[in-house]
Structure 1
Amino acid sequence: MVVRMEIDWKDGMAEFWGSVVLTWLVIGGSVGSGWIEWGLVLAVCWAAFNGAHILPVLTAGSMFNSQDWEGGLTKIGWQVGGAVGVGLLAAITGGDGVPYPEVLEFNTDLGHWLTMFIGGGLVYIVWSSCDLTDLKGLGVAAFAVGMAAAAGMALTGGADLGTNISGLIDGGSFDVEGLAMFLANTIVAGLGAVMAVKVNESL
């Protein structure tokens, strides 16, 4: 029996180009840790790329709750692919990527993981409850994610991993710790989203 995977190119391109824009803004320094910057950038990206998650932590929350593993992993692949493209362009033109600058070893700080878990639940519940085609819903979702970023939630995982991979083109080394942090951050945020949905359903 042959299982064929159908690719939704429209959805994939939305994720790819949304990630390209976000990564470009991260590299350019337009997106810091401030909630206003994150809110504005995500509002613009979600409005421009309708239906795209753009952030792997949101896709993880959606994937864990719907158990659509194929669709979720495909989306994350497109997101990382968009960041790889920007990283390759940066490497070719002599620019810098955005590998995890603060990660010298795997983060064992409990506060970080609590932030990822609680933040993952909060942003998923708000984001999934909002109508992103409506200006009000778009703003609420974007600024909820922005507030989570200001609280310390790691949201640039796709950009970090993508430019980490693309950095190999100019002889750079692959940051294994960065990959481990990307996977762990994404999974913990996804688990937080699952818990948030269960709590919300019990209310």
Structure 2
Amino acid sequence: MEINWKENMNEIGGAFMLTWAVGYSGLGVEWAVCLAVAWMAFAGAHLLPVVTWCHMLTGDLSDVEGNWMTNGMRLVAQVIGACLAIVLATEAGDIETGWAATDMWIPDIADNLWVVLGMIAAGAVWWQIHTRCDMVWASAFAMMAFAAAMTLNGASEMGASITSAGDGIVDTAVNWICDGLFVGIGALIGVKIHELLPEAGAAEEAAAE
């Protein structure tokens, strides 16, 4: 597999900027503005794990190298960028942040069913906005609007765990994967629904016949 260093450096730089400047809360206009600027500055970068999972699951699922491995490298690059930002912001651990790992939620998925359905719905709607609008501003502000339904801080959580000597790394890694996976599943469902719907012109012609 040939590694695209420019692509991965964009991910590292963009994730560093987001983590250091505004974090991954997804709340507030300043966050959406920073995300839009980062997308423009680091052209082609996904920056957020949920975005990478959307690309991954709506891409060619049979393409191991071009889809799964390439996007997997993006996810790793995002974590590296977050780690660098956390090391800088905490002065290599001298500043105590009070961070604690979040418990793994997937074993209790039955109790979190509505949350999971919300993630899937948010992924479906956001991906349609992202792929139909040519402006990064629309995608960024839509991401802000759906922040309550999507977990956007996967990279920074992984970065915090790694820079804390692996504290809670198993729970954090599983959450990092699942939080992006369900949003990506939503994006895939949205694409499939769109493909099943007839075009407006075709529907009118069928009705006329």
Residues 77/32 of structure 1: CA separation in 2 closer, same or farther (3 Å cut): closer
Larger Rg: 2
Residues 115/25 of structure 1: CA separation in 2 closer, same or farther (3 Å cut): farther
Mapped pair 1:50 → 2:53:
no
Partner SS state of residue 83, structure 2: helix
How do residues 51-200 of structure 1 correspond to structure 2 at under 5 angstroms? 51-66=44-59, 67=61, 68-89=67-88, 90=90, 92=92, 94-96=94-96, 103-106=102-105, 108=109, 109-131=112-134, 137-149=135-147, 151-168=148-165, 173-200=167-194
Partner residue, 1:6: 2
Q: Shift in Å at residue 33 of structure 1? A: 4.7
Partner SS state of residue 94, structure 1: coil
- Aligned residue identity for 1:17: G
The question of whether the paired residues in 2 share the 8 Å contact of 1:56 and 1:157 is answered with yes
- Aligned residue identity for 1:144: A
Number of residue pairs matched by the alignment: 186
Partner SS state of residue 155, structure 1: coil
Mapped pair 1:15 → 2:11:
yes
- Aligned residue identity for 1:111: W
- Aligned residue identity for 1:94: D
Q: Mean alpha-carbon deviation: is it higher for 11-20 or for 87-96?
A: 87-96
Q: Shift in Å at residue 86 of structure 1? A: 1.9
The question of whether the paired residues in 2 share the 8 Å contact of 1:126 and 1:144 is answered with yes
- Aligned residue identity for 1:110: L
Q: Shift in Å at residue 36 of structure 1? A: 2.1
The question of whether the paired residues in 2 share the 8 Å contact of 1:115 and 1:152 is answered with yes
Provide the alpha-carbon RMSD of the alignment: 2.2
The question of whether the paired residues in 2 share the 8 Å contact of 1:91 and 1:167 is answered with no
Residues 88/11 of structure 1: CA separation in 2 closer, same or farther (3 Å cut): same
Choose the corresponding residue for 2:34, options 32, 41, 51.
41
State percent identity of aligned pairs: 32
Q: Distance in 2 between matches of 1:187 and 1:33?
A: 18
Q: Shift in Å at residue 55 of structure 1? A: 0.6
Q: Shift in Å at residue 175 of structure 1? A: 3.9
- Aligned residue identity for 1:40: V
Q: Distance in 1 between matches of 2:8 and 2:178?
A: 23
- Aligned residue identity for 1:139: W
The question of whether the paired residues in 2 share the 8 Å contact of 1:88 and 1:167 is answered with no
Which sections of structure 1, spanning at least 5 residues, go unmatched? 132-136
